[in-house]
């Protein structure tokens, strides 16, 4: 059993989400929900063309928040950001006037034209690493930001070379008004899903996360950012309102299921990140 756990931890480490290229809580959440209702003036959902033409909201993607160690591969560096840098980058966002938004707000903006705060941005975390709770959530709270946590359920509570969040930590994040979302069971590539995988990689993790949080699980992030156009329709059938890729192009038939994100790699300065946000997301007015 011990060997299995250690092996499991090593596999999870390798499987971290890397693309080929790369107390106020409850009150705030309640206020946000009410704002969405008031602002949802259009009852007819927008078509794909309208959604694609809207100004994209920047979405950031983080994995491990820790210092590099000698055994980290060069490729892993994109997925690792030092705690001090992460803190500087969050401060830069706050100082630049950004307001964090959550997937429900983005969905209501894209589909129903709901208003967003000025300079909206979404901050997301993949793969369940515990440092996202200890450093990530603590830093976000300092600036009044909320985050989105894409959980791969196999890793919950595991300890080892990398430690992962426990059920209790995930529940706390949800209770504090952050969004808990799905990132499969064990990081299997969505493009290679078999019929059975829709149960093990999608339905079972959704059920588990709903049990932990007491909330609906309605958002998904593709492992490695990789998707397959021909099976995107199934995400809606399995209860998801939207899904997130990395920085590749959106699928024109399924823009809600291919929302773009950029990785904030460990090598970026806060200034680099600021420019990257402005370069990667279009500025078309809706």
Rounded to whole angstroms, the Cα distance separating 180 from 174 reads 6
From 5-13, 15-23, 116-124, 230-238, span contacting Zn ion (CB under 5 A): 15-23
Per the listing, tokens 């500025």 go with 283
Which CB, 63 or 146, lies closer to Zn ion? Answer: 63
* Nearest residue relative to Zn ion (C-beta): 17
CB of 102 to Zn ion, least distance (A): 19
Is residue 109 a contact partner of residue 115, using CB atoms and an 8 Å limit?
yes
Residue 244 or 268: the one with the smaller Cβ distance to Zn ion is 244
Task: Tell me whether residue 126 or residue 264 sits nearer to Zn ion (CB atom).
Answer: 126
Nearer to Zn ion by Cβ, of 120 and 225: the residue is 225
Query: Is residue 17 a contact point for Zn ion (CB under 5 A)?
Result: yes
**Selected range binding Zn ion among 17-25, 26-34, 88-96, 192-200, rule: CB under 5 A:** 17-25
**Whose CA is closest to 83, among 154, 142, 168?**
142
| CA quadruple 227, 256, 249, 82: dihedral, nearest 10 | -80
Contact between 25 and 175 under an 8 Å Cβ cutoff? The reply is: yes
Least Å distance, CB 142 to Zn ion, is 25
Report the candidate in 186, 169, 181, 184 with the shortest Cα–Cα distance to residue 216: 181
- The distance between the two most distant Cα atoms of the chain, rounded to a whole number of Å, is 56
Nearest distance from C-beta of residue 220 to Zn ion, angstroms: 11
Count residues binding Zn ion (CB under 5 A). Answer: 4
Q: Is 126 in the site for Zn ion (CB under 5 A)?
A: yes
For residues 105 and 155, which CB has a smaller minimum distance to Zn ion in the complex?
Answer: 155
- Count CB atoms within 10 A of the CB of residue 7: 11
Least separation in angstroms between CB 132 and Zn ion: 12
Tell me which residues in 42-61 interact with Zn ion (CB under 5 A): none
- Name which of 126 and 176 has its Cβ closer to Zn ion: 126
Residues forming a β-bridge with 180: 149
Enumerate residues 6+ apart whose C-beta is below 8 A from 278. Answer: none
* Site stretch for Zn ion (CB under 5 A), options 19-27, 96-104, 162-170, 217-225: 217-225
Report the nearest approach of Zn ion to the CB of residue 79 (Å).
8
Q: Does 127 bind Zn ion (CB under 5 A)?
A: yes
In whole angstroms, the minimum distance from the beta carbon of 246 to Zn ion comes to 10
Q: 129 Cβ partners below 8 Å, 6+ apart? A: 63, 64, 65, 162, 163, 164, 165
Q: How far apart are CA 125 and CA 151, in angstroms?
A: 8
Listed in sequence order, the residues at least 6 apart from 46 whose beta carbon sits closer than 8 Å to its beta carbon are: 54, 110, 111, 112, 113
Closer of 17 and 114 to Zn ion (Cβ): 17
Candidates 12-20, 107-115, 250-258, 273-281: pick the segment binding Zn ion (CB under 5 A): 12-20
Separation CA 12–CA 22 (nearest Å): 18
Stretch that binds Zn ion, among 22-30, 46-54, 126-134, 257-265 (CB under 5 A): 126-134
* Site residues for Zn ion per CB under 5 A: 17, 126-127, 223
């Amino acid at each position: 059993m011990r060997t299995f756990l250690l092996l499991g931890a090593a596999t999870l480490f390798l499987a971290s989400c890397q693309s080929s290229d790369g107390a106020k809580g409850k009150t705030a959440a309640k206020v946000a929900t009410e704002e969405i209702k008031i602002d949802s003036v259009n009852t007819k959902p927008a078509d794909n063309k309208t959604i694609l033409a809207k100004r994209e909201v920047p979405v950031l993607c983080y994995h491990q928040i820790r210092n590099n160690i000698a055994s980290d591969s060069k490729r892993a560096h994109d997925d690792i950001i030092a705690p001090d840098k992460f803190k500087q980058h969050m401060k830069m966002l706050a100082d630049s006037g950004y307001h964090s938004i959550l997937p429900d707000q983005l969905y209501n903006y894209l589909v129903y034209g709901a208003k967003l705060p000025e300079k909206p941005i979404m901050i997301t975390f993949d793969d369940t690493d515990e440092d996202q709770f200890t450093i990530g959530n603590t830093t976000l709270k300092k600036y009044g930001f909320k985050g989105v946590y894409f959980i791969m359920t196999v890793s919950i509570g595991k300890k080892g070379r990398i430690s992962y969040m426990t059920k209790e930590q995930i529940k706390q994040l949800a209770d504090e008004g952050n969004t808990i979302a799905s990132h499969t069971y064990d990081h299997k590539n969505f493009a290679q899903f078999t019929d059975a995988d829709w149960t093990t990689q999608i339905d079972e993790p959704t059920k588990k996360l709903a049990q932990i949080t007491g909330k609906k699980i309605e958002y998904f992030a593709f492992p490695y950012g990789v998707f397959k156009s021909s099976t995107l329709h199934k995400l809606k059938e399995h209860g998801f309102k939207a899904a997130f890729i990395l920085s590749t192009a959106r699928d024109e038939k399924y823009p809600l299921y291919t929302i773009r994100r950029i990785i904030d790699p460990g090598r970026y300065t806060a200034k680099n990140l600021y420019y990257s946000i402005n370069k990667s997301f279009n500025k078309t007015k809706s």
